[in-house]
Amino acid sequence: MRTATASSARERVRTGVRRSQRSGKASREGGLRPSATEGAHQVLPAIVSVFFHTDGTICHSWCGRPLEFHGSRGGLELDFFCTRCIEHVTLPQSVLSRVPVLSGV
């Protein structure tokens, strides 16, 4: 019995997880630990730095002016510049489909 206790203690130290947490049972604190499938739902954050104007230009949300396109970085990010705010804006290409469309600010 002493060997089982020592080995389970070593396992807890090594993994940092109690046996009750691994099995999805109630922990000592009394709460239930969610399973891996329950926590997998992701909510994508809203894009607030830019918006598409109805004419198709990408505008800066802070001032409402169109952004100047300065190029792409590594084929993953798009670089823009706001001449009014003197601010650099970088957008991942993957978020372009989620940029909101507004008529103006």
Lowest mean pLDDT among 20-24, 33-37, 100-104: 20-24
- For residue 82, give both structure tokens: 């706001």
Q: Is-contact 102 57, C-beta < 8 A?
A: no
Strand partners, 67: none
Instruction: Retrieve residue 103's tokens.
Output: 């008529």
Neighbour tally for 23: CB within 10 Å: 9
Stronger pLDDT, 41 or 12, i.e. the higher one: 41
Query: What contacts 64, CB < 8 A, 6 or more positions away?
Result: 104, 105
Of 26, 78, 17, the closest CA to residue 67 belongs to 78
**Using CA atoms, how far apart are residues 90 and 71, in angstroms rounded to an integer?**
10
**Phi/psi at 23 (5° precision):** -90, -5
Domain ranges of the chain: 2-38, 50-102
What's the pLDDT tens digit per position in 71-85?
999 999 999 999 999
List, for residues 27-71, the tens digit of each pLDDT value.
455 566 666 665 566 888 889 999 999 999 999 999 999 999 999
Which residue, chain included where needed, has tokens 């830019």?
A: 50
Which pTM does this prediction carry?
A: 0.57
